[in-house]
Amino acid sequence: PFFQGHFPGHPVMPGVLIVEAMAQTGGVLMFSKEENKGKIPLFAGIDKARFKKPVYPGDQLIIKVEIVKMVRGVGKAKAEVYVDDNLVAFAELLFTAVQIS
């Protein structure tokens, strides 16, 4: 349904949904780290987000996230999104891991 209004006659995937996909992928990666056992990852921020090409209905996103730094439960990740081997978006993501009480 979001393609209908974004934009009529020229549907593209909203950038905010691409960012959400990067954040969720990064959260899963943070959750899988041994030092974060018993914790939940929380998305803390985004830097240097860029959208290089539009994403159209039917495109398949390949999302690659790499943790580049972890310090005392705070992680910085590099995220890239591809369609057909073409880079369509990238960003730096920040996460924190909080203890489950």
| pTM recorded for the entire structure | 0.89
Over residues 44-87, the pLDDT tens digits come to 999 999 999 999 999 999 999 999 998 887 899 999 999 999 99
Q: Which residues are part of the catalytic machinery?
A: 6
**In this structure, are residues 90 and 50 in contact, taking their beta carbons and an 8 Å threshold?**
yes
**Domains in the chain and their CATH numbers?**
2-99 (3.10.129.10)
Over residues 5-45, the pLDDT tens digits come to 788 889 999 999 999 999 999 999 988 888 888 888 899 99
CA neighbours within 13 Å on the CB side: how many for 89?
25
Tokens standing for residue 42: 């929380």
